Every structure is written in structure tokens, then in C-alpha cells.
Amino acid sequence: MPQMTDERVRAGLTHEEDLSLLHEVSMKTAGVSRLEMCIQCGTCGGSCPVAKDMDHTPRMLFAMLRAGMREEVLRSNTQWLCVSCYHCVVRCPQEVHIADVMYTLKGMAIKAKLYANSTAPDFSQTFVDMVESYGRSFEMGLASRHYLKHFPLRLPGMMPMGLGMITKGRMALTPKRIKHMDQLTKILNRAKQLEMTS
Amino acid sequence: MTEKIGVYVCHCGSNIAGVVDVVDVANWAAEKLGHQGVVIARDYKFMCSSLGQELIEKDIKELGLTRVVVAACSPHLHEKTFRTAAKNAGLNPYLVELASIREQVSWVHTDKAVATAKSKAVVSGAVSRVIENRALDEIKVPINPNTLVVGGGIAGIQSALEIANAGFHVYLVEREPSIGGHMAQFDKTFPTLDCSACILTPRMVEAGTHPNITLLTWSEVVNVAGYVGNFNVTIKKKARFINEELCTGCGICQEKCPKKVIDDVYEAGLGYRKAVYTPFAQAVPNFPVMDKENCTYFEKGTCKACEKFCPTNAIDFNQQDELINIDVGNIVLATGYDLFDARRVSNYGYGRLPNVFTSLEFERLSNAAGPTSGNIVLRDGKTTPKSVGIIHCVGSRDRNFNNYCSVICCMQGLKFAHLVHERTGATVYNFYIDMRTAYKAYDEFYQRVLEEGTLFVRGKVAEVTDAARYSNERGKLIIQTEDTLAGKQRRIPVDMVILSSGLQPRKDAKEVGKLFGISCSMDGWFTEKHPKLDPVSTMTEGIYIVGCAQGPKDIPSSVAQGAAASARVLDKILQKEVALEPIKATVDQAKCSGCKICNGLCPFNAIAFIEDDKISYINPALCQGCGTCVAACPAGAISGTGFSNEQIIAQIDGLLLRNLEPAEA
Amino acid sequence: MNKYLLYPGCSMESSAKAYMESLNAIVEPLDLHFDEIEDWNCCGATEYLGINLIPAYSLIARNLALASKQKNGTRTVVAPCSACYLNLAKADHYMQERPSLGVKVNEALAAGDLQYKAGTLDVRHLIDILVYDVGLEKIRDAVVRPLTGLKVVPYMGCMLPRPDYQHRWSDHEHPTELDDLLRALGADVIDYPLTTSCCGGHMTQIGPETAFELIRRLVSDADGRGAQMMVTVCPMCQMNIDAYQNETNHFFGTEYHMPILFFTQLMGLAFGRDPKELGIGVELVSSRNALANIGVEVPVTQEPAAPRKKDEGLPMPRRWNKREAQKEAVK
Amino acid sequence: MTDQFEPTIIGFTCNWCSYRASDLAGTARMKYAPNVKLIRLMCSGRLDPTFVLRALSSGADGVMITGCHPGECHYIEQNYKALRRFLLLRRVLNGLGIEPERVKLVWASAAEGARFAAETTAFVEEIRKLGPLNWGKADDGPQATDHDQPSFAHGKEMEVPA
């Protein structure tokens, strides 16, 4: 309906409401998300330890999901700030799987390449790369690679910490690889195929 | 002989017709079950309406129907309606069968084709069965005009007074030492702010002195036998250790008793009473009770201060629990509610943080007759709070606790806001999810509280904590919430937090339900017969439920229900007799082999063995119609009316559609 | 003897090796036996779940599949790390709650000749085993040096008591398992309202300022209540509060000194073990003064000679260069 | 979904508990498998084992018997008798070469609509797995003689005296 769109554009509307968004997020979430049950009470936003740094409180994000504001939702830093503390999850009176929805939104944002303001996706990717090549995570490599890329200025400040960890023998300098890396690779490759087709 | 059967398929508006193709079902019945005797099959929008009933009555008269099948809702709802219709048209009411295609089909299935097919099978089963139905005569029994009311809160008092005023006798049983219930604990009642005691006390006195009311406080029902019109109830009157004949209610015993106990019931744990006590000054009856567990004499064998000082020698340490047996025709249950235990919401800190109060505690705190004489102060007993946060929906509308809305908490929260503002001048915050102020003059009260300057924050509070994050929070309780309308997380430091806790079923509601033979909903409230049209009756005839026992409600609604149930009771009493279902078992003497297998099976001792004839005999007055003996008789000598083998076998065949082919001649 | 399968998790080999060492030290007095899951892999922490759903759950499920294959007479998997515990429990739970996920994960596992039937293992945390299987009675009996006089705040962290799929904990907000255990050791346990508040998780990496605030809240409240140390059950919590405390102080201009030890280290001390065996002393915020209160001397850690292998080429941070930093700041 | 076997199941319910549970499931609009068609008895104690055999021999693939929870019988204790008959019946079925799992006993109180719905759906799946019971279906037709004249007299071994 081009006419309609034209009219909307003239009226100053920038995008169409994407009413399939809520369902899509719900389906992509592990377990049963219960996202449609949200009553906008704000328990999540009130419980969140990092709400003050979020673009939108989780509650607001869920309202935006309902309103089909795809781009705004995926661009939000909210999902990236989630520390997975599960305070909101156990307190939610509607048992919405909030933390798992945040994971879903991260994945969707990465795929849509809509995550302008955070270094978090990169951190996740670095972590994933590491696990996929060694089967184990490896703090030293992770932290230094991430810091070098995103916070080069902070690194010197972190030096005493890093050095302390190394001298106390708490940071492995060499990564450890699992025995059957080939098996893990096969599993993950198959899983990735399944992810694409689902 | 050939029966003439009419089949009537109800649309129930769109309740059935929305999922089941009712026209198809009716046509199918006419076509495929014609050989069974179906002479007419109709569908109609509302079979239970008077027009629908007239339709059936007309067909019975004009077509000479000998059997009727109504495919509609559950027989528990409208079986009686259609039986009455048949009776009006001159057909024996027991020649009507209901085929439930609403509760058992349209409401639980979604696929139209599947639901329609299932409806056909259900109708087919009912048609086959109804052919085997036999005309039965109702059994009529007289109704005992006495009534038992269980629970002496405002709903129970109202119910008892209505019946007593109509001239019939009522036994009012109350578990606590005094009637009055939760309402006696309140200071003010919303939305008009009448003093609770001022409006309740006259009713309590009236109930206590009414010539038609036998008041049994400090008593509990322990057994219920019989059926509508003829219940036999056993009541345990717990020992009070006070001779009620002698006691004048002077109160000297309480004054002299040396043992102070925290009063968890009336004072909600916020005040003290003695070991011998009346819960409050206006208690009805005004006799004290002795709390055996805390009495020094019962504990250590010495003291008896009360006995020494009693001017009428009314103290009786040897009193025993007493069992009282009464016969009543109807029973009203007004057993009330328990307050939700706010300690379960551990993020609100009740029980850990001293200045977090529950609603009932606050009621006592603000009550002029309460432990602080109505001064609203912190747990230290002296400091007046400068800021107070009131949290709504505590334990309600929350799948972690109770799913339902407790109805009264919004108005209760507003009442608290008003009282705090009026008595302390403190800054008051109300935290709510949705403001529910339905009913007369309630929203006006909300307006008034807004006008008084109470600050409303829309957001379910996430936590109440004493972990100060910033210097302005030190020594305060911090309420952390999202202000959902501002879209920001807020931390609001206050001196006092009041939790507007929800209501929940009595913790023994399930056992009480079992005792009286009624069921509880999933949430645990007693289930009414119909949520809209029969809210005070239950599935068990002669048992009624009123007030919060049926679900959360405020005082006006409780009173209305109390009165409504009384109208139902009076209706029954004035009918003088009640018809019982003629579902009974009988022994065919010719077939009985005298094996006695059935004798031991009957829990009602209705089966006796007649030694002279060497056969068993069933006493119809005692038989309750369960049918166990019918199923057990190895000779097939026992038959059960209403649920005979022939009826059930026919229904099996019908449900499995084995009745479709015309039988060979 | 109680036998279990152990899923140590990556940090137990590095940043939380004190946890591993102290765990090994308490196994014998409590008559416990752990078999490590052979060739276990990383659970993906909180990062993997945010990228792809099925690979994330397949990664976790490989461990469960290996565990169910490894027969040592138990079906209980014990994870000492809260994040690992949660991930393993979550995969087990969601593969049941949404069967289609279970089917897909098993399809992926099949590529590595593995399979896992959800619900066949019990995933439990170490402290759950100690409090509910071993029991406080037995722990109390094993104490030879009560920690009397040591003022501690119990810090449970978030991923242990929440979301609690199997209803294993006394409460979501103020669970008492750690309090009870520390009391059994004789310590003075201080009521700590923030016991299940977040330590910042991965935010120390991706949004340090956010994390510093969370760390400050925890440390300042513990300090305000007179605690001499915090006690934790989770490597991530220990790492964030210990390793980033200095930076947090720097950021806020505060001077907190709040050591944080693993509960197993205190158990080891109470059982009379040598602090050296328990990894005491490798924390960055030293517990020396705190433990001096109960007469325990913290050993000086020998600084291990840093391996000089250059060939694998770990990118070491470059030296501080003021001019470059200023240039960066202008951008 | 299209070609799967849809079992036909007869459910015997007690008037006081399980039939009300099914009413409640309806009132609460809980969805469950449509394969079970109910017959209301006053009590599960009324269940004559021949009813079950009759249903199985007339085309039902399974029979679900539901009653009040033990200790909650409207008629005091008759559901215990149902339990005894049920156990016996399963043995008889076994003897006849029919999977005893085709008959299931479920306790459901009037408040347990959800349980009723869940148990019904679960039982349908169990029977679906067992496949059709072709007892009585083969000789479908007017000639089927035994079905027209059911014999109610049955051996004493079907009853266990109290």
C-alpha cells in the first residue's frame, strides 16, 4: 500500500509498526518466554541493579516490543547491560523469562547489526571465538584482547591488577585446549546449521 | 415399544455454537438416530431461556414425546431446569437426559470439526441412554427449620440476624472467643471512614442477645452428617475454664492475671493480652476464655490468681471440651479469610526490617483502642514517621504467590494514606500497579486522597532495603521501584513501610470444605454453584457460602452476601419439604442368592441381611445411591435407579456410535 | 562415602584456583569423592547465550552428555562455580520445558556421537552438597579451629539462588545456607542485605563504570556493617570484588580494604588446614589483617617466575604513553 | 498431525469430584485432547468391570476411570472399592491378551480441573502410542451378537469383598 506509506511519511512517521516482533522474540527465546503476559508493573525496572545506565528499563523495552519498534529495541543498550542477576526473573509477578529474552535480543541485535553503542557484542564474540578454538575460556587473552581494542586508555590503569593476577598465579598465560576439540567443533557446526534453518 | 425422542441442541449464544456446528449436530441426530426413536431434533439459541423451555414443553404436548435429550451445558447447571420443563408438560422429569457439549466439548476444544464430531457422539450416547431411563418419583423429605451459621464475622452475623428476625432459629458458631471477625480489628472503614466499632458493635450485641440465636463461641464444627433439610452437626465447644452461668464479665480476672502474652490474633501480634482474656472490650459474649497453653496454673500447677479474685466463683479449672449435637436444615459458611503472610515476599523485608508493617498491624496501630491508642508510630513505640510508603498488591496478582486480585487492597491502601496524612502529616507515597476503585463512592475517595497530597507512584515495588547506597538513605528504609510513568528507577527513602497485604483462603479451608462436602477453587476459595447467577449456593444442596470464604470482598459485599444466603435459606425453610433425587439401589429378591457380598460394602449401613429369607434388603431411607453394591452383586440382583446397568451399557454403545445401524427386525 | 561428578569450570583452573585448592583440602575430612567430568568444555558463561541459541545450549549440553556417559555410580553433577551451575541447570531445564529445543540440541550432539536426555542428571552447586548432603552437623564436628571472632558477611551472589529451577534454596533474596554454614564454622556472621546482589558480572569487562558502582555498593555496605571480610561461593564474584576493588576505590576516591575469600578456604582453616594448602594469600586484597584476628598467619606467596615463552605470542599491553592517550582522548 | 491415530476413549467419572473437575476445566477454558467421551456415574464405586470390557469390546481403545482422591469419597470410602476392582481388572485384561495400560485410574477432586485436563491429554498420548485395539471393531455390523445381549452375571472372582 504505497499510498498509505506515503501518507504516513508525510505525517512524519518514520517507520511501520512491526507487530510480529513480539512473537518473533518469544519464539527465539529458550524455554517459554511468557513475554505476552507482561502487565507493565515495573518490577523488572525496579529490581535491575544497572537500570540507571540503561537506555530503556526492561519494562519499557517490552512495551516497545509490543509496539513493534524493532529498530529502537535492537539498538537499545538495555540487553547489553543486563548482568544476568535474575532479580527481575524471580520477582516478576507474571513469570516472564526476562533474562532469557535479553539473551534473545542480543542475538537479534548482532544479526541485524544494530548495536551501535556497546562494546559488549564484541566481547561476546571474542569470548565465543576463544571457546570455539580451545573449548575453554581463557581470561588473560580475553581481557587483554578486549581491552586493547576498546579501552586502550584504561589498560595502564588495569596493569597493576593484571600483573597482580599473573604474579599470584591466577591468570593463565597459555590457553588450555580440550582433548576432543574436533568433537566439539562438529557439534557446534551442526548446531549452527540448525540455528540457521530454524 | 418405540419411544418418541426429542433432541434439543443449545447454541448457548456463541459458547457452544462458536465451536460446534449445532445445526449439523441436530440434523445428524434426526437423520442417524431416527431408528432409535428420535422424531424431532432442533437447535436453539438459548435452550434454558423461557422460550427454549416452552419449545420443549410444546413438543412434548404436541408430538407426544416420551423422552427428551438436551445437548447443552453440564447437568450440574441445568438438569433441574429441563426436568422441571418436562414435568410442566406432563412428562416424568427423569425421562430427560442432558448431553454436555459445553463444559465437556466447546469450552475445552478448538477444532470445529473435532468438536462437532464429539458432540454427535455425546448426543448419541444420551439418546441411547434415555431410552433406558425409567420414570421415577421424587422422594420428599421434611426440612428442619433450624439453621447453622459457621463464622461470626460481619457476613455470618448478617446472615444469622436475617434468619433469626424472620422467626427461625439459628446456631451461630465462632472459633474465636468473640464474634466480630476481622472487622472488629479495624479503625475506620472505606470509603466513608465510619468508625468500624461504631457500626459493628450494635450488630454484635443484637446477635448476642437475639432470642432466636444460640451463640456458640470458642467452638468448632467437627462433624457433619445428613443432607439438605436434615443435617446432623457435631460441634466441639472448647473448654473456656469459665462458668458462663456465673461469670458477669466484670474483667477482674484479666486484671489480676500475671501472665502477659503477645496477641497474635486480635492485635495482629502488635499488642499484648493476658492468659485469661476477652479479646477486646466490646466482645460478644463478654465472658473471657482461659488460654490453657499460656496459663501459669496449667503450666506450673500454681497461681490461680483469677480464681482468688473472681467475685462470683466463675473460674472452673476442671472444665472439659464439650460435644454438642444439633439438627439443622441448612448451613451457611461464613468462615472468612487469612491475611497473606507478607514474610513470604522476602524482598519487602517484613519480619527482618522492624519498620515494615502489614495492613492488619497498621489497622491496630491506627485504632484508638489499639496498643498505641491510635498513635501512628514506628516499632520503637514513640517515633512518629515523617515519610511513609504504602505498597499495594502484596502477595496478590503475583504468580509467585496468589494469582488473583484481592479486591480490597487498593481502597485499603488509600485509607491508610488518608489516616497517616491526617494523624502525622507525614509525606505519604502509594505504590500501585493499577488503581482499582470500582464501586460506589470509591473513586471519589481516591480523588480525596490525591487532593490531600499523597504521592502516587505507578510501579510494583521491587524491594525494600536498609542497605543505604547514598548518604541521604542512611538510617532509612529505601523503597526501590521503577516509576513506570516516568520510565526511571527510583529509590525513595522513608521511615515506615506499610504492606497492603492480600487476602487468602483460611489455611484449613480445604478440610472445612471436605467436612461440609463442598469444593474449593484452584485458588482455594469455596466454589459457588454459579459465578454469576448463583453466587451464594454451592453444588451441595443446603450449604451456602458468604463473605470472604467465597472470595476476597469488602464489607458491603460481604453483608449483601450474608443477607442473600439468608433469603435462600428462608426459601427452603418455607417450602417445608425438599425433593431428593430418587437414585437408590434395590434388591431383586428373586435373584438374590444371599451371598452377603454387598452387606459389607455399604458405608451407610443401608443393607441388612434378612435371615429368615436368606436375602439382603436395602433400606431406601439410608441408601445414598452410590451404586457400589450394584456393581458388586455377582448375581446382578441389585439395580440402581437413575444409573442402571442398562442405561450405562446403552450409553457406552451410543458414545461409540454402535447404535447407528437400524437394528434388524 | 558420597560420590559426585565434578564440573570444575574454566576459572577453577586459573583465577579461582584457590577455590579448587581449598576444595581439595576439605574433601577428605568430609568423606566426599569427586570424579571430574572427562574432557569437559567451557559452559559459555553469559556470553555464548547472547549470540546463538542452539550452539549455546549444545555447548553446555556436551558436558551433560559426557557426564551421563561417565558412570561412577551417581547422577549428580556438582559445579562449584555459580555461573557454570546456572548454565548447566538452565540447559537441563529448558530442554524439558521446550522439547523442540531438546530435540535440536540432541541433533547437534549426535554430530559428536553424544546424546543427553534432559532431566536425567541432577545439577547442583557445591554448597548445596555441603549443606544438604553432608549436613551442618558433620561440618561442625570436623571443626578443630573455630573461626570465633572473625566478622564475615556471607555473599551468595545472584546466579546461585536465582532463578532456582529445582527449588533447591531457602530463599531467592536472603538465602541462609551460607550464613548457616559459616556459623557452623564458628564465625561471627553479619546480616548482609546485599547477599544476593550482583557483583557486576561481565560488566567489569564491557562497562567498567557500571561494574564499579555495583562493587562499591557491596563493599561499602559490608564495610559499614563492620565486616572484616566477605565470603563467597562464586569465582566471578570473587574475581570482581577482589581484583577490581582497587580500581573501584580509585574511581570513587574511596579507600575500602575488603578481602573476599571462598567459603571453602574458611572451611579449610576451621578444619585446621595450613593456609598455604588453601590458596590463602593469592587474593589481591589481602586477608592478612582479617585473619590475624583469629590467629591465622597468611603466607607470603612466592611469586612464580612468569613464563617467558614468547612464541605463542600473547598480546601484552603496550606501555603507557601519555601523548598517545591524549590524542585518543581528543578523538 | 494429519495421519496420526486418534484413539477413542470412554471415561467413567464420579458425579462429585471428577465430573466436576471436568466442569471446572470447561469453565476455565482449559484445552485438552478431545478423544475421551465421559459417562457420569454417581461414584467410581459404581463402576462394574463389565462396563470397561463392554467399552473395549465395542470399539474403545482405552478406558479412563476417574474418582475422588482416596479419603475424599463423597460416599466415604467407595473409591477404594473402585481401586481394588481396577487392579483386578488390569489382571483380567492381561489374561485376555490386552495391554493393561489401556485402562487408567485417575484421582481428581472437584478443584482439579487442570489435573483432569492434563491427565486426559496424557492418557490419549499413551493410548496413541499403544495403537488401536481391534477388539470388536473387526466384526462391526448388525450380526455382532454378543454385544446386543450383554451378560451382567459375572464370576465371583471379579469382586473382592470388603
Q: Is residue D75 part of a domain?
A: yes
| Inter-chain CB proximity B399 and A93 less than 8 Å | yes
What per-residue confidence (pLDDT) applies to A42?
97
| Inter-chain CB proximity A46 and B480 less than 8 Å | yes
Out of C171, C191, C197, the one facing B346 most closely (by C-beta) is C171
Out of B521, B627, B651, the one facing D111 most closely (by C-beta) is B521
Question: What's the mean pLDDT in B328-336?
Answer: 97
Strands of the sheet containing C151-155, edge to edge, are C188-189, C151-155, C229-232, C260-262
* Rounded Cα distance, C250 and A160, in Å: 12
* Rounded Cα distance, C189 and C227, in Å: 9
pLDDT digits (tens, 9 = 90+) for B160-179: 999 999 999 999 999 999 99
| Cβ-based contacts of B347 with chain C (< 8 Å) | 172-173
Q: Which domains does chain B have, with CATH numbers?
A: 5-138 (3.40.50.960), 147-237+325-336+506-577 (3.50.50.60), 252-320 (no CATH), 339-503 (3.50.50.60)
Question: What's the mean pLDDT in C6-31?
Answer: 92
**Helix (H) / strand (E) containing A134:** helix A120-134
Q: Is residue D18 part of a domain?
A: no
Contact in structure between B602 and B628 (CB atoms under 8 Å)? yes
What per-residue confidence (pLDDT) applies to D153?
39
Contact in structure between B489 and A56 (CB atoms under 8 Å)? no
pLDDT over 90 for what percent of chain C?
75
Those of residues 530-589 in B touching chain D at CB distance below 8 A are 531, 539, 583
| Inter-chain CB proximity C193 and B465 less than 8 Å | yes
Q: Is residue D12 part of a domain?
A: no
CB contacts < 8 Å between B and C, how many? Answer: 19
Question: What's the mean pLDDT in D106-115?
Answer: 86
Is the minimum CB–CB distance between D138 and chain B shorter than 8 Å? no
Q: Grid coordinates standing for B65?
A: 414425546
pLDDT digits (tens, 9 = 90+) for B5-22: 999 999 999 999 999 999
The CATH class of the C2-125 domain is mainly alpha
What per-residue confidence (pLDDT) applies to C310?
44
Question: What's the mean pLDDT in A127-134?
Answer: 87
Q: How far is B175 from chain A (nearest CA, A)?
A: 34
Contact in structure between C267 and C185 (CB atoms under 8 Å)? yes
CA of B348: which chain C residue's CA is closest?
Answer: C173
Range of the domain at D98: 30-130
pLDDT over 90 for what percent of chain B?
83
| Cβ-based contacts of B516 with chain D (< 8 Å) | none
Contact in structure between C16 and A169 (CB atoms under 8 Å)? no
At CB < 8 A and 24+ separation, what contacts does A21-25 make? A21/A65, A21/A68, A21/A69, A21/A70, A21/A73, A22/A65, A22/A66, A22/A68, A24/A108, A25/A65, A25/A101, A25/A104, A25/A105, A25/A108
| Inter-chain CB proximity D46 and B631 less than 8 Å | yes
Lowest-confidence pick of B34-48, B123-137, C33-47, D148-162: D148-162
List chains adjacent to chain D, taking adjacency as at least 3 C-beta pairs closer than 8 Å. B
Going by C-alpha positions, the residue among C211, C185, C151 that lies closest to residue C272 is C185
User: What mean pLDDT is reported for chain B?
Assistant: 93
Contact in structure between C287 and C280 (CB atoms under 8 Å)? yes
DSSP code per residue over B546-607? -GGGTS---HHHHHHHHHHHHHHHHHHHHH-EEEE----EEE-TTT-----TTTTT-TT--E
| Distances, alpha carbon B363 to alpha carbons B90, B187, B556, in Å | 60, 6, 19
Q: What angle do CA A69, A71, A76 make, to 5 degrees?
A: 95
Q: How far is B583 from chain D (nearest CA, A)?
A: 9
Strands B387-394 and B607-610: unpaired
What per-residue confidence (pLDDT) applies to D161?
41
What per-residue confidence (pLDDT) applies to A164?
77
pLDDT over 90 for what percent of chain D?
47
| Cβ-based contacts of C197 with chain B (< 8 Å) | 467
Those of residues 328-347 in B touching chain C at CB distance below 8 A are 346-347
pLDDT digits (tens, 9 = 90+) for B561-571: 999 999 999 99
Count other Cβ atoms within 10 Å, centred on residue C321.
12
B9 in helix, strand or coil?
strand
Q: Write the single-letter amino acid at A134.
A: Y
Out of D51, D109, D156, the one facing B634 most closely (by C-beta) is D156
Q: At A59, give phi and psi (nearest 5°).
A: -55, -45
Check pLDDT > 70 for residue C305. Answer: no
Report the DSSP beta bridge partners of residue B510: none
Q: Write the single-letter amino acid at B465.
A: T
Out of C171, C172, C194, the one facing B467 most closely (by C-beta) is C194
What per-residue confidence (pLDDT) applies to A156?
63
Is the minimum CB–CB distance between A25 and chain B shorter than 8 Å? no
CA of D6: which chain B residue's CA is closest?
Answer: B114
* Rounded Cα distance, A27 and B522, in Å: 29
SS3 per-residue string spanning A34-58: CHHHCCCCCHHHHHCCCHHHCCCCH
What number does CATH give the domain C145-292?
A: 3.40.50.11810
Q: How far is B383 from chain A (nearest CA, A)?
A: 29
Residue C234 confidence class, pLDDT cut points 50, 70, 90: very high
* Rounded Cα distance, A104 and C278, in Å: 40
Q: How far is C118 from chain B (nearest CA, A)?
A: 25
Those of residues 1-60 in D touching chain B at CB distance below 8 A are 8, 10, 17, 19-20, 22-32, 34, 37-43, 45-51, 54-55, 58-60
| Inter-chain CB proximity B468 and C224 less than 8 Å | yes
B-interface mutation test, from A38, A47, A50, A76, most B Cβ less than 10 A away? A47
DSSP code per residue over B280-344? STT-SS---EE-TTT-HHHHHS---HHHHH-TT--B-TT---EEEEEEESEEEE---EEE--GGG
Q: Is residue D9 part of a domain?
A: no
CA of D33: which chain B residue's CA is closest?
Answer: B109
Q: Write the single-letter amino acid at B311.
A: P
| Cβ-based contacts of B466 with chain C (< 8 Å) | 193
Going by C-alpha positions, the residue among D89, C66, C63 that lies closest to residue D81 is D89
Residue A116 confidence class, pLDDT cut points 50, 70, 90: low
Q: Which domains does chain A have, with CATH numbers?
A: 14-112 (1.10.1060.10), 120-197 (no CATH)
Q: At C242, give phi and psi (nearest 5°).
A: -80, -55
pLDDT digits (tens, 9 = 90+) for B579-608: 878 888 999 989 999 898 898 888 778 898
C239 in helix, strand or coil?
helix
Q: How far is C160 from chain A (nearest CA, A)?
A: 9
- Domain residue spans of chain C: 2-125, 145-292
Residue D150 confidence class, pLDDT cut points 50, 70, 90: very low
Check pLDDT > 80 for residue C317. Answer: no
| Cβ-based contacts of B397 with chain A (< 8 Å) | 39, 93
Check pLDDT > 50 for residue B126. Answer: yes
What per-residue confidence (pLDDT) applies to C73?
81
DSSP category for residue C318? P
Domain count, chain D: 1
| Distances, alpha carbon B170 to alpha carbons B199, B204, B217, B327, in Å | 22, 14, 13, 11
Residue D158 confidence class, pLDDT cut points 50, 70, 90: very low
Residue C225 confidence class, pLDDT cut points 50, 70, 90: very high
ipTM over 0.90: no
Check pLDDT > 60 for residue D138. Answer: no
Q: How far is CA D19 from the centre of its chain?
A: 13
Lowest-confidence pick of A4-8, B147-151, B271-275: A4-8
| Inter-chain CB proximity D23 and B103 less than 8 Å | yes
What per-residue confidence (pLDDT) applies to B11?
96
Is the minimum CB–CB distance between B469 and chain C shorter than 8 Å? yes
Those of residues 59-118 in D touching chain B at CB distance below 8 A are 59-60, 72, 74-78, 81, 85, 109-111, 113-114, 117
| Inter-chain CB proximity B346 and C172 less than 8 Å | yes
Count other Cβ atoms within 10 Å, centred on residue A98.
29
Cell 470397561, residue? D52
What per-residue confidence (pLDDT) applies to A162?
73
Residue B395 confidence class, pLDDT cut points 50, 70, 90: very high
pLDDT digits (tens, 9 = 90+) for B262-315: 999 999 999 999 999 999 999 999 999 999 999 999 999 999 999 999 999 999
Question: What's the mean pLDDT in B501-517?
Answer: 92
* Rounded Cα distance, C66 and C61, in Å: 8
Check pLDDT > 70 for residue B1. Answer: no
| Helices marked H in chain C | 17-27, 53-69, 82-97, 99-110, 126-128, 136-142, 177-184, 203-206, 208-224, 235-243, 245-252, 263-270, 288-292, 322-330
